[in-house]
Structure 1
Amino acid sequence: MSKSVFILPTNQRLKVNEEVIELLFSLAQDSLDALESGGILVGRILESSADYVIDDASVPMAKDVQKRNSFVRDSEGHQEYFDQHWAHQEGRCFYLGEWHTHPEKVPKPSFIDQRGWRNLLNAKIQEQTTLFFIIVGIQRLVIWQGVNRNGRIRIFRVGDINRYE
């Protein structure tokens, strides 16, 4: 199995396209002056299997706030990014979650990250009850799945990808 395919707790699969992985690692905070970056994840939910595919990720936009240890996404530019994909894919794509960087080798979500993830799951964007959250560290990219079932939110660590393998 590819390093970019993960089995989820529901036995569905998550595939992250290699181009997305390369893009996210290219924005890793691997120097002392690198600022935190982030964006949204866009992809598909396969009709035949209900598997998820992350096809694209937005990059920091002009109105985003980037600091060494924080990233605040301004929704306007990322919404335009999503709308372009929606039009190009003729409505066959979904907002699948968020990503951001941390200046640590193996990233761990902060309390602020987890609170933000819960807020997104409660918002049920595009009726989504499942979202994915990626934190890109210096050495590893780690993926979590968040699920909102009838107001009960659970977040699972799905897996990770080593930048140097």
Structure 2
Amino acid sequence: MSKTIFYLPNDKKLKISFEVIELMFSYAQDSFAALESGGILIGRILESTSDYVIDVASTPMLKDIQARSSFKRDAEDHQEFFDKHWVLQEGRCFYLGEWHTHPEKVPRPSQIDVRGWKELLNAEIQDQMTLFFIIVGTQQLIVWHGCIVNCRIRITRLGHIRRNEIIY
């Protein structure tokens, strides 16, 4: 299987569970009729190393707005999804970012994507100064790391996972 560990600029690591990768690729827009999909990323920050682990991702909800080239997440439904995991994990989980699809082989963030990512980082959800953003294309998904350093937002491309490297 392809690599699921990414190295952050601050020497920390991000691990994405195989189940989350498989789930996100299941929504790849590989037909003309497929609509953009997305959700939130939930996981842990390890006490021993401060590394990040993405364990769970939400999927499109009923009130989300999906089109061929846009996706608008309904905050209330995804918050409810997070709240359920918060209870199940006894408060030991964090909102770690968002994911969505693009109808292109190698996805690139749009200006709307980057603007939204910056807004999320400025919101400091759960006092998070670090978030992850994943865009799933038809052939690969790409992972970005967003953080606030010295009051400045930095967004860095961490790497990719190719769809044909996933073992089903």
Question: TM over 0.5, yes or no?
Answer: yes
Q: RMSD in angstroms over aligned alpha carbons? A: 1.0
| Deviates further, 50-59 or 142-151 | 142-151
- SS of the equivalent of 1:148 reads strand
Which 5+ residue runs of structure 1 have no aligned equivalent? Answer: none
Residue type of the partner of 1:80? E
Output one character per residue of 1:23-58: Cα deviation in whole Å (capped at 9) or x when no partner: 000000000000000100000000000000000000
Question: Could you tell me how far apart the structure 2 residues matched to 1:158 and 1:81 are?
Answer: 27
Normalised to the residue count of structure 2, the TM-score between the two structures is 0.96
Residue type of the partner of 1:147? C
Report what 2:83 is aligned to.
83
Normalised to the residue count of structure 1, the TM-score between the two structures is 0.98
Report what 1:133 is aligned to.
133
Matched ranges for 1:87-102 at <5 A: 87-102=87-102
Question: Could you tell me how far apart the structure 2 residues matched to 1:151 and 1:73 are?
Answer: 27
| Deviates further, 134-143 or 148-157 | 148-157
Q: Which aligned runs of 4 or more in structure 1 are off by greater than 6 angstroms? A: none
Report what 1:112 is aligned to.
112
Residue type of the partner of 1:101? T
Aligned residues: 165
Report what 1:26 is aligned to.
26
Q: Percent identity?
A: 68
Report what 1:5 is aligned to.
5
Output one character per residue of 1:69-113: Cα deviation in whole Å (capped at 9) or x when no partner: 000001011001000000000000000000000000000000000
